[in-house]
């Protein structure tokens, strides 16, 4: 119900470590370089007024700015000390021209003109090795700095002066900080040797929050590298901690922690990010260059005491060449974009396998009204579904399908063509090859085609694909998507929800360039969800 699901590729943009993407996991990646040559990036920040403006802090002490979502980069480091690694960046939510940079060995620097000029803002913390920054979202002149050896510092005057606030903080190596969005006196510190600490009074006193009820404990024998807190939690505290070696732990009511690691094949987690528009979607960046995504994180304890119930991480983008991921950020309004930072990999862009606009020359049904599209938009996104049946199709050769067993991914792409320009609403990609459960995801089906089955729906919610070659009216294809890992909000994005705009164009795009399509100008049912009643759409192709 809350996410637009789309398949993607990573593209290296050659700056040092920012990954631009869309919210689209899937198959093979294609890398292109298009940015400043700096090899390691440790910090990211998105302009809250214009999230296409991205700031990246590098290991060499430089800040780069992109105004086109990672497509190109400009050096914006005037005034920063040379050689002091930029380990943290945070933007003032009230005035986006004001940005703070946390530097290794040089404290905090500040710009009030969006990076054109920087100056020291480190009175009281000269020479301090800053690892993390967090800002009070309500009173933005209040900030916290986490340091490598000296705990947490606080300023209440926008960096004019800093003071240590470490009472009760027994581990002074702070890797990450988080401020609760609606209760900003609650601050959380992830440390290298003491797990996670919390202050409820803006730093006056800290206490460890690693031991919950019974065995709900956050491990303290490994570093806590990342901490995020659900900004939508108005009264309770829901948090996620990323650890170096024991994966991700979730606390629905802090400090009751439980592991959340099914499908997380790399437990060395270096970065976490919640989708700001949907706190039910969590991202994890790990060492060795893998980014994972987990849907329905809030539903982990539904109908079970096991928080891993029905939750499975899936890797998104497979071509980071083993570069450690150091930071993640999700675009707040265009939820098809995710940014990440890596050590040593340049800037990568992860682009959708679905084309931005419909492909030309796709095969169409040989008979009208024989390609059927049905969508169910349930209140419970576990029950969301989309089924596309391309029946009585134009003549299709077996060779047109390429080889999904080894090389060719398949993407289902839905476009809204009601406006002056087509808009990609849904993109779901099944990568080539792979193992689903204990069986190959793709299999040869008889002598005429292929079949894809993925009961866990880890590839954008795709449950099944059937490809059948044949003469005119004999060829057919079917694609079925289902929740949890598919949801229909890409089709019904407005609040309150409205019926789908028509016409819609649905294409099945193969990575080898072949495609099959149908156009839907009239719906037999087109009802938006209201209250507890599911939305439904069904149509037969023109």
Rounded CA-CA distance 254/252 in Å is 6
Per the domain annotation, does 512 fall within a domain? yes
The stretches in the chain having pLDDT less than 50 are 1-33, 301-310
Give a yes or no: residue 39 inside a domain. Answer: no
**3-class SS of residue 383:** helix
Q: Are strands 348-352 and 18-21 parallel, antiparallel or unpaired?
A: parallel
pLDDT of residue 334: 63
pLDDT at residue 301, rounded to an integer: 38
In a domain, 21, yes or no: no
Is 440 among the domain residues?
yes
State the residue for tokens 């905090």: 108
Beta-bridge partners for 540: 372
Q: How far apart are CA 195 and CA 225, in angstroms?
A: 9
Between the alpha carbon of residue 159 and those of residues 108, 149, 446, the distances in Å are 8, 20, 69
Q: Which pLDDT score, from 0 to 100, does residue 225 have? A: 98
**Cα–Cα distance, 40 to 154 (Å, whole number):** 28
Residue 203 lies in a domain: no
Count: domains in the chain: 1
Domain encompassing residue 425: 371-540
User: Cα-Cα-Cα-Cα dihedral of 489, 274, 24, 333, to 10°?
Assistant: 60
Residue 530 lies in a domain: yes
Would you say the pTM of this structure is higher than 0.85?
no
Give 361's Cβ-side CA count (13 Å radius). Answer: 3
Whole-angstrom Cα distance, residue 376 to residue 192? 46
Q: Is there a contact between 294 and 313 (Cβ–Cβ < 8 Å)?
A: yes
- Across the strands, what pairs with 390? 371, 477
* DSSP per position, 267-285: -BEEEEEEETTEEEEEEEE
Question: Residue 385 belongs to what H/E stretch?
Answer: strand 385-393
The answer to whether residue 398 sits within a structural domain is yes
R_g (Cα) of the chain, nearest Å: 24
Does some domain include residue 25? no
Closest C-alpha to 329, from 74, 62, 116, 42: 42
């Amino acid at each position: 119900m809350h996410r637009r699901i789309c398949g993607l590729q990573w593209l290296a943009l050659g700056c040092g470590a920012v990954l631009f993407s869309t919210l689209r996991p899937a198959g093979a990646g294609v890398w292109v370089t298009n940015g400043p040559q700096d090899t390691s990036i440790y910090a990211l920040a998105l302009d809250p007024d214009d999230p296409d403006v991205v700031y990246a802090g590098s290991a060499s002490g430089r800040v780069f700015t992109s105004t086109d979502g990672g497509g190109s980069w400009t050096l914006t480091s005037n005034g920063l000390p040379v050689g002091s690694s930029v380990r943290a960046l945070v933007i003032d939510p009230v005035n986006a021209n004001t940005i703070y940079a946390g530097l290794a060995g040089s404290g905090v620097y500040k710009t009030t003109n969006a990076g054109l000029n920087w100056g020291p803002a480190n009175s009281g913390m000269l020479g301090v090795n800053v690892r993390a920054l967090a800002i009070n979202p309500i009173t933005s002149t209040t900030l916290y700095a986490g340091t490598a050896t000296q705990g947490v510092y606080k300023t209440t005057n926008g960096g004019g002066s800093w003071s240590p606030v470490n009472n009760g903080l027994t581990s002074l190596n702070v890797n990450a900080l988080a401020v609760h969005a609606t209760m900003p006196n609650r601050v959380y510190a992830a440390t290298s040797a003491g797990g996670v600490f919390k202050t409820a009074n803006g730093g006056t006193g800290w206490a460890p929050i690693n031991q919950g009820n019974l065995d709900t404990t956050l491990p303290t024998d490994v570093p806590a590298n990342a901490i995020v807190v659900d900004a939508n939690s108005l009264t309770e505290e829901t948090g996620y901690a990323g650890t170096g070696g024991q994966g991700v732990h979730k606390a629905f009511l802090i400090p009751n922690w439980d592991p959340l690691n099914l499908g997380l094949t790399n437990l060395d987690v270096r970065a976490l990010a919640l989708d700001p528009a949907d706190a039910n979607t969590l991202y994890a960046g790990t060492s060795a260059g893998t980014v994972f995504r987990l849907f329905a994180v809030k539903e982990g304890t539904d109908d079970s005491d096991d928080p891993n119930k029905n939750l499975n991480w899936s890797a998104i983008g497979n071509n980071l060449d083993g570069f450690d991921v150091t930071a993640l950020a999700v675009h707040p309004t265009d939820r098809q974009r995710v940014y990440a930072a890596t050590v040593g990999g340049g800037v990568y862009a992860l682009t959708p396998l679905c084309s931005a606009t419909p492909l030309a020359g796709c095969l169409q049904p040989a008979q009208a009204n024989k390609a059927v599209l049905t969508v169910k938009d349930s209140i419970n996104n576990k029950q969301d579904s989309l089924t596309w049946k391309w029946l009585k199709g134009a003549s299709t050769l077996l060779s047109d399908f390429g080889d999904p067993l080894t090389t060719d991914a398949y993407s289902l792409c839905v476009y809204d063509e009601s406006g002056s320009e087509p808009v990609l609403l849904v993109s779901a990609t099944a990568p080539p090859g792979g193992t689903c459960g204990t069986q190959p995801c793709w299999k040869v089906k008889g002598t005429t085609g292929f079949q894809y089955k993925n009961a866990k729906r880890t590839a954008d919610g795709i449950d099944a694909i059937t490809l059948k070659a044949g003469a005119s009216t004999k060829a057919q294809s079917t694609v079925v998507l289902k929740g949890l890992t598919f949801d229909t909000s890409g089709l019904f994005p407005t609040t309150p929800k409205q019926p789908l705009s028509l016409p819609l164009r649905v294409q099945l795009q193969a990575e080898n360039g072949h495609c099959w399509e149908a156009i839907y100008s009239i719906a037999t049912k087109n009802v938006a969800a209201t209250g507890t009643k599911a939305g439904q759409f069904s149509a037969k192709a023109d």
